[in-house]
Amino acid sequence: MQRFILQRLVALVPTLFGISIIVFLVMRLIPGDTISAMIGTQYKLTEVQAASLRAYFGLDKSLPEQYWIWITNALQGNFGFSVRSGQPVLGEILNRFPLTLELALGAVIVGLLIGLPVGILSAVKRDSFLDLFGRLFSLVGLALPNFWLGTIIILVLSLYLGILPNSGNYVEFTQNPLLNLQQILFPAITLGLAFSASVMRATRSSLLEELFQDYARTARGKGLREQAVIVGHCLKNALIPVITLVGVEMGYLLGGAIVVEEVYALPGVGRLLLNGISQRDYAVVQGAVIFIAFNFVIINLLADLAYAFVNPRIRYE
């Protein structure tokens, strides 16, 4: 297992390096002059002013040089400063990351709480009314845009039930756990519903496969009750692909959180990124994109490791 972890960690280096190059290059796609893009159209700069700003931001250097300066700074935790707030980008990101992570974790919990039981029931009662309902649920769940679901939840809560999700003044978990959970509940449901549909699908198909394996037939043959066969034997094996799914989807939930944070006006990394885009604060955009992408890769790595841990066959391949 140690060798497996080491191999994966080594493989991580070129991936992170590649991500940094892609993010760097994408941010250089900005058409025209970056300085004018940052300043906006309301101010007119003289040639000298623009040149000195370009030199200040290192934009007068060649692309490889710019990349080298940026990556060496980034490796030391310096992602530059926000043009709008004047604060270090990394600090702004780290301040907001606990909320984004909490939202993604909340969505995973919602997804598992709904997806696992529905998937298991759907597989066990195959072709029944329950199964039909489960499959319909997964189809709709996967097609439901989370920004619409969020909008509808807010609409129903505020207009018909008179409850506001109360996410305007976000309170951290450590300050007031109850209020924090109340604020995160509906965003987590919004983000987690599509995930629960994926979990349901994976659990159903994986459990169906296991239910017809030889070992399950043997267990039934030696007189075990069906419930014991399912819980004691099949479910353990059926959940292995679900663990991978949780890992992979957890990364995607970080992406989905961008939209959900906007819907509920939650001050997470996603909202920081969107504000950065609308305010042309490219240091913030670059920093937030690379931060989310790095986390995505690391979560995928952890999922791989968890998968290898529960499924020894993977380690020896």
Nearer to other proteins, 68 or 148 (CB): 148
Pick out residues in 164-203 that bind other proteins (CB under 8 A): 201-202
- Which residues make Cβ contacts (< 8 Å) with residue 93, sequence separation at least 6? 79, 269, 272, 287, 288, 291
Size of the site for other proteins (CB under 8 A): 50
Tell me which of 5, 8, 30, 57 binds other proteins, using CB under 8 A: 30
Judged by CB under 8 A, the residue of 13, 212, 278, 312 near other proteins is: 278
Instruction: Please tell me the distance from the alpha carbon of residue 286 to that of residue 115, in angstroms, as a whole number.
Output: 35
Query: In whole angstroms, how close is the CB of 255 to other proteins at the nearest point?
Result: 3
Contact 261, 100 (CB under 8 A): yes
Min separation Cβ 131 and other proteins, Å? 13
Q: Does 23 bind other proteins (CB under 8 A)?
A: yes
If one asks whether residue 41 binds other proteins (CB under 8 A), the answer comes out as no
Taking CB under 8 A as the criterion, the residue among 51, 171, 274, 306 binding other proteins is 274
Query: Which residues from 221-260 bind other proteins, rule CB under 8 A?
Result: 251-252, 254-256, 258-259
**Site for other proteins (CB under 8 A): which residue of 107, 189, 285, 303?**
285
Report if residue 38 touches other proteins, rule: CB under 8 A: no
In the list 22, 55, 181, 228, the residue contacting other proteins (rule: CB under 8 A) is 22
Return d(Cα 275, Cα 269) in angstroms, integer.
10
Q: Which residue from 289, 303, 305, 308 is in contact with other proteins, where contact means CB under 8 A?
A: 289
Q: Would you say 211 or 219 has its CB closer to other proteins?
A: 211
Of 2, 3, 10, 14, which one interacts with other proteins (CB under 8 A)? Answer: 14
From the list 4, 5, 8, 27, which residue makes contact with other proteins (rule: CB under 8 A)?
27
By CB under 8 A, what part of segment 106-165 binds other proteins?
139-140, 142-145, 147-149, 151-152, 154-155, 158-159
Q: Which residues bind other proteins (CB under 8 A)?
A: 14-15, 18-19, 22-23, 26-31, 139-140, 142-145, 147-149, 151-152, 154-155, 158-159, 201-202, 205, 251-252, 254-256, 258-259, 262, 273-274, 276-278, 285, 289, 292-293, 296-297, 300
